[in-house]
Amino acid sequence: MPANKKLLILPGDGIGPEVMREVRRIIDWMDRRRSVTFEVKEGIVGGAALDATGSPCPDETVAAASEADAVLFGSVGGPKWDSLPFDQRPELGILRLRKDLGLFANLRPAVVLDPLADASALRPELVKGLDIMIVRETTGGIYFGEPRGIHVNEQGKRVGIDTEVYSEDEIARVARVAFDIARKRSRKLTSVEKANVMQSGRLWRAVVGEVGKAEYPDVELQHMYADNCAMQLASRPKQFDVILGGNLFGDVLSDLAAALTGSLGMLPSATLGAMQPSGKRHALYEPIHGSAPDIAGKGIANPCAQILSFAMLLRLSFGMDEDAQLIETAVEKVLAGGLRTADIMSPGRARVGTTVMGEAVLRELEKLSA
Amino acid sequence: MPANKKLLILPGDGIGPEVMREVRRIIDWMDRRRSVTFEVKEGIVGGAALDATGSPCPDETVAAASEADAVLFGSVGGPKWDSLPFDQRPELGILRLRKDLGLFANLRPAVVLDPLADASALRPELVKGLDIMIVRETTGGIYFGEPRGIHVNEQGKRVGIDTEVYSEDEIARVARVAFDIARKRSRKLTSVEKANVMQSGRLWRAVVGEVGKAEYPDVELQHMYADNCAMQLASRPKQFDVILGGNLFGDVLSDLAAALTGSLGMLPSATLGAMQPSGKRHALYEPIHGSAPDIAGKGIANPCAQILSFAMLLRLSFGMDEDAQLIETAVEKVLAGGLRTADIMSPGRARVGTTVMGEAVLRELEKLSA
Ligand SMILES: [Mg+2]
Ligand SMILES: [Mg+2]
């Protein structure tokens, strides 16, 4: 079988390397049992890269990421590097990758696996079976627009300024990502802005509507104000399937939706670039949790979000829906069996560490594919 | 007793007049039984004013509001006026009042009364006793900043632009409102922005910190990113007491917090202007619910939010904490007794209309002050 699936693995710092180890074992297992061969490279990023090369994202890492079909990212940062100047922060590692690879669409699933329905702050019947995908624009909007800064006006007073800017092309390309995903799910998309009080919101609503009408007439499009969306998420989250938002509203609403699941240690994410003429698109997958330096090296980190990030990678970058589903089912079965890492522990369950959790997932994979 | 409490009542449209009627009965009762005399004027606003004068906010209404010590507002709008041009929308009534009176600080309590703890989407133990006050800046920020608009760039593409602008004075004055409120509550304030990615957020954090240090050293100040605040609200809301945010984050977070209570028909709000040398500050009080044209005139609207808006008015504009508390307790007791309007109905309770609910509150007031 040809090794046509180029994968770059960037474990990073903190718990990154230890949770990534459990993914490596799944990759090895797939290699042996599922006859899927990945061409895996490992690279350095974040504090690890700073220590080794002086840069949080060395050129070789960017080059390797650019060549790869998909990047599986761990997490970066930790107290060791906290006092470094701003241009040497480990976090710049991921920021440079996003920028250099043109990753503009952040995909944030908010999924409640049945065994964890009681981890949510919401009543279980309101979140059981929850499966939302939030698509957030990540390279434009108010976090990047110019002019921005703090200046002193004629009265000698400080004034802080940020600019929200969205062009129709920026809106349309991320809208297409969201429509494509909606088409593969329940064909229902909710686009979020504040068109009632923001001009960029008015344009957002118009362009998303145009793209939908012209290219996705089969997808039901709903427009919703961002404040109302926050209310709806907090009261009846299961009404949503795919939600699309700009950088700022996508930021707040994706974090809100993640919190509603009650199990942040379980959630993966993806960030996608433009579809190239070759049919390839740059893509980076990572858990939404951070490097958790306080528990790093203790063997107690939850590897599930990293494993589920790999499943997302299989689905979105390689079209391997069946294998992705296999991994997701395996994770759910392990949880249904009662195993829990510390972060998702609840009374009456069995508390285990990173390796035992990873091994349990492997065992379920064996069973499911037997 | 001198009639030194000038009150302007603006019932507005839809259910506004019928829920306001229940407040009038409480005012009459206070007049009789509590020896508190208000000088009450009633004015027109919204669609009612449009029909009568051609303007959603006639000059006489603005003048009366400006003279009054406090304005009690109902709600405006309805299908009758939906097709009118933008400059004749009933909603302009409230916008003009806010602007002309310089009302820059919106106060949005998110309170869960014990009898309604099961109305929330959150598990009852997480919301029982919830009592948050959100202070939102309402005259500045991205909903008003210039430049704003949609233009066509050199490539012939549409670009939407909004500008977030905050001066240190705008931040400081709303911060003082929040600190003052925090001082009367648990002396804990959470200020919310995105200082990590926004320049206005950096200035916001700096100025709120300066005001706190110089003028409110007795109030514990915590800074929090807005996305994290959304997560925290949706998972452990009771950690908060007073939350301060700019126009945009205050908008989204106050609606989120309101939704968490599960009983939007119960929530009042206030919008305050600057403290004048006379010691007076313009203030307008209104329920957060709208004019609900679908149920207007049916006698089934919940009068509680309007009644609680009046209690808030007594507390904040007249320093009548005891009377405010009396009304709040009366409302809670009525609910504890099992009465419910349709919007908050739940199994096993007694469904009643607007008047019966209002009368029940009056009866409790009688009992409580007997
Ligand atoms: Mg965020
Ligand atoms: Mg709102």
β-pairing, B242-245 vs A38-42, is unpaired
Residue of A5, A194, A285, A343 marked active site: A194
**So what's the pLDDT on residue A34?**
77
Q: Which of B261, B282, B303 is the last residue of a domain?
A: B261
Ligand positioned closest to the Cα atom of B248:
2
C-beta atoms of A161 and B162 within 8 A: no
- Sequence-distant (6+) residues with CB within 8 A of A335 are A113, A115, A116, A344
Quick count: other Cβ atoms within 10 Å of Cβ A72? Answer: 27
Mean pLDDT to the nearest integer, A156-162: 98
Torsion sign across C-alpha atoms B21, B23, B25, B27: negative
**Is A44 annotated as contributing to ligand binding?**
no
Residue A197 lies inside a defined structural domain of this protein: yes
Residue of A28, A169, A218, A227 marked active site: A227
Q: What is d(CA A122, CA B125) in angstroms, rounded to the nearest whole number?
A: 11
Instruction: Answer yes or no: are the C-beta atoms of B141 and B256 closer than 8 Å.
Output: no
Question: Token pair 């998420």 is at which residue?
Answer: A233
**Is B343 annotated as contributing to ligand binding?**
no
Q: What percent of chain A has pLDDT over 90?
A: 92
In chain A, what's the furthest Cα-to-Cα distance? 75
* Residue A251 annotated among the catalytic residues of the structure: yes
Residues A218 and A131 in one domain: yes
HSE value, Cβ hemisphere, 13 Å, CA-based, for A104: 21
Quick count: other Cβ atoms within 10 Å of Cβ B288? Answer: 19
Residues B100 and B183 in one domain: no
- Counts of helices then strands in chain A (DSSP H, E): 12, 14
* Residue A166 annotated among the catalytic residues of the structure: no
Is the N-terminal amide bond of B147 cis, ω within 30° of 0?
yes
Helix (H) or strand (E) holding B169: helix B168-184
Mean pLDDT to the nearest integer, A341-355: 96
**So what's the pLDDT on residue B33?**
86
* pLDDT tens digits, one per residue of A253-291: 999 999 999 999 999 999 999 988 988 899 999 999 999
Residues B362 and B274 in one domain: yes
Chain B hits for A207, Cβ within 8 Å: 158
Give the nearest partner residue to A142 out of B126, B166, B198, using CB atoms. B198
Instruction: Answer yes or no: are the C-beta atoms of B70 and B53 closer than 8 Å.
Output: no
Burial class (CB in 10 A: 0-12, 13-18, 19+), A220: middle
* Best residue of A249, A256, A261, A343 to probe chain B, by most B CBs closer than 10 Å: A256
**So what's the pLDDT on residue B1?**
41
- Sequence-distant (6+) residues with CB within 8 A of B83 are none
Q: How many residues does chain B have?
A: 370
Distance from CA of B164 to the nearest CA of A (A): 5
Ligand positioned closest to the Cα atom of B227:
1
CA A244 to chain centroid: 14
* Of B89, B63, B95, B60, nearest in space to B77 by CA: B89
Q: Which residues lie across from A38 on neighbouring strands?
A: A5
* pLDDT tens digits, one per residue of A96-115: 999 999 999 999 999 999 99
Burial class (CB in 10 A: 0-12, 13-18, 19+), A213: exposed
Q: What is d(CA A267, CA A286) in angstroms, rounded to the nearest whole number?
A: 9
Helix (H) or strand (E) holding A83: none
**So what's the pLDDT on residue A272?**
98
**So what's the pLDDT on residue A364?**
98
Quick count: other Cβ atoms within 10 Å of Cβ A305? Answer: 24
**So what's the pLDDT on residue B2?**
45
- Which positions of B are catalytic? 143, 194, 227, 251, 255
Residues B129 and B225 in one domain: yes
C-beta atoms of A199 and B230 within 8 A: no
Residues B65 and B88 in one domain: yes
C-beta atoms of B123 and A121 within 8 A: yes
Give the nearest partner residue to A150 out of B169, B202, B235, using CB atoms. B202
Q: What is d(CA B7, CA B68) in angstroms, rounded to the nearest whole number?
A: 5
Residues B251 and B125 in one domain: yes
User: Which tokens belong to B339?
Assistant: 């009465």
Cα distance from N-terminal residue to C-terminal residue, chain A:
21
Residue A215 lies inside a defined structural domain of this protein: yes
Distance A247 CA to ligand 1 centre (A): 10
Residue of A143, A162, A241, A280 marked active site: A143
Residue A156 lies inside a defined structural domain of this protein: yes
Q: What is d(CA A297, CA A315) in angstroms, rounded to the nearest whole number?
A: 30
C-beta atoms of B168 and A159 within 8 A: yes
Residues B275 and B238 in one domain: no
Distance from CA of A95 to the nearest CA of B (A): 12
**Is B86 annotated as contributing to ligand binding?**
yes
Mean pLDDT to the nearest integer, A331-352: 96
Chain B hits for A206, Cβ within 8 Å: 158
Instruction: Answer yes or no: are the C-beta atoms of B230 and A256 closer than 8 Å.
Output: yes
Residue B113 lies inside a defined structural domain of this protein: no
Full domain range(s) for residue A281: 1-103+277-370
Instruction: Answer yes or no: are the C-beta atoms of B236 and B126 closer than 8 Å.
Output: yes
User: Which tokens belong to A165?
Assistant: 């800017």
Chain B hits for A153, Cβ within 8 Å: 167
- Residue B81 amino acid letter: W
Q: Which of B231, B261, B291 is the last residue of a domain?
A: B261
Phi, psi of B345 (to 5 degrees): -60, 140
How far CA B331 is from CA of B116, B236, B238, B308, B314, in Å, comes to 12, 26, 22, 8, 15
Residue A112 lies inside a defined structural domain of this protein: no
Q: What is d(CA A130, CA A180) in angstroms, rounded to the nearest whole number?
A: 20
What three-state secondary structure class fits A72?
Answer: strand
**So what's the pLDDT on residue B86?**
78
**So what's the pLDDT on residue A86?**
78
At how many degrees (to 10) do helices B59-67 and B92-100 cross?
40
**So what's the pLDDT on residue A2?**
46
Chain A hits for B248, Cβ within 8 Å: 194, 248
**So what's the pLDDT on residue A1?**
41
Number of domains in chain A: 2
Residues A305 and A234 in one domain: no
* pLDDT tens digits, one per residue of A27-51: 999 999 877 889 999 999 999 999 9
C-beta atoms of A255 and B231 within 8 A: yes
Instruction: Answer yes or no: are the C-beta atoms of A6 and A41 closer than 8 Å.
Output: yes
C-beta atoms of A199 and B150 within 8 A: yes
Residue A6 lies inside a defined structural domain of this protein: yes
Distance B111 CA to ligand 2 centre (A): 17
Residue A217 is given by DSSP the state T
Q: Which of B261, B288, B318 is the last residue of a domain?
A: B261
* Best residue of B125, B134, B161 to probe chain A, by most A CBs closer than 10 Å: B161
For A228, the closest chain B residue by CA position comes to B255
- Sequence-distant (6+) residues with CB within 8 A of B354 are B15, B18, B19, B21, B22, B299, B300, B301, B302, B303, B341
Alpha-helix residue ranges (DSSP H) falling in B38-89: 47-53, 59-67
Torsion sign across C-alpha atoms A339, A342, A344, A345: positive
How far CA A58 is from CA of A50, A61, A232, B42, B278, in Å, comes to 8, 5, 43, 70, 63
Q: What is d(CA A199, CA B160) in angstroms, rounded to the nearest whole number?
A: 6
Residue of A13, A251, A323, A343 marked active site: A251
Chain B hits for A252, Cβ within 8 Å: 226-227, 230, 249, 252
**Is A79 annotated as contributing to ligand binding?**
yes
Alpha-helix residue ranges (DSSP H) falling in chain A: 16-33, 46-53, 59-67, 92-100, 124-127, 168-184, 199-215, 226-235, 247-261, 304-318, 321-336, 354-368
Q: What is d(CA A335, CA B310) in angstroms, rounded to the nearest whole number?
A: 51
* Best residue of A128, A142, A207 to probe chain B, by most B CBs closer than 10 Å: A142
Residues B165 and B211 in one domain: yes
**Is B24 annotated as contributing to ligand binding?**
no
Phi, psi of B35 (to 5 degrees): 55, 40
Q: What is d(CA B328, CA B92) in angstroms, rounded to the nearest whole number?
A: 31
Q: Does the pLDDT of residue A250 top 50, yes or no?
A: yes
**Is A27 annotated as contributing to ligand binding?**
no
Chain B hits for A198, Cβ within 8 Å: 142-143, 148, 160, 162
Residues B136 and B257 in one domain: yes
Distance from CA of A262 to the nearest CA of B (A): 7
User: Which tokens belong to B369?
Assistant: 């002050």
**Is B324 annotated as contributing to ligand binding?**
no
Question: Token pair 């470094």 is at which residue?
Answer: A84
Residues A286 and A206 in one domain: no
* Residue A28 annotated among the catalytic residues of the structure: no
Burial call A223-237: b when 16+ CB within 10 Å, e when fewer: bbbbbebbbbbbbeb
Computed on alpha carbons and rounded to an integer, the radius of gyration of chain B in Å comes to: 21
Distance B287 CA to ligand 2 centre (A): 13
User: Which tokens belong to A126?
Assistant: 């309101």
Distance from CA of B23 to the nearest CA of A (A): 28
**So what's the pLDDT on residue B36?**
87
B47: left (phi over 0), alpha (psi -120 to 50) or beta: alpha
Q: What is d(CA B194, CA B202) in angstroms, rounded to the nearest whole number?
A: 7
Residues B250 and B307 in one domain: no
* Best residue of A143, A210, A233, A235 to probe chain B, by most B CBs closer than 10 Å: A235
- Residue A214 amino acid letter: A
Residue A175 lies inside a defined structural domain of this protein: yes
User: Which tokens belong to A245?
Assistant: 């938002």
In chain B, what's the furthest Cα-to-Cα distance? 75
* Residue A241 annotated among the catalytic residues of the structure: no
Q: What is d(CA A249, CA A300) in angstroms, rounded to the nearest whole number?
A: 33
Chain A hits for B121, Cβ within 8 Å: 122-123, 126, 234-236
Question: Token pair 């997808």 is at which residue?
Answer: A219
**Which residues are within 5 Å of ligand 1 (an ion), measured at CB?**
A 251, 255; B 227
Distance from CA of A5 to the nearest CA of B (A): 35
Distance A59 CA to ligand 1 centre (A): 27
- Residue A366 amino acid letter: E
**Is A247 annotated as contributing to ligand binding?**
no
**Is A85 annotated as contributing to ligand binding?**
yes
- What CATH number is given to the structural domain containing A296? 3.40.718.10
For A254, the closest chain B residue by CA position comes to B227
Mean pLDDT of each 10-residue bin along chain B, 370 residues long: 79 98 96 88 97 96 97 96 87 91 97 94 96 97 96 97 98 98 97 95 98 98 97 97 98 97 95 92 97 96 98 96 96 97 95 98 95
Residue B173 lies inside a defined structural domain of this protein: yes
Q: What is d(CA B104, CA B11) in angstroms, rounded to the nearest whole number?
A: 22
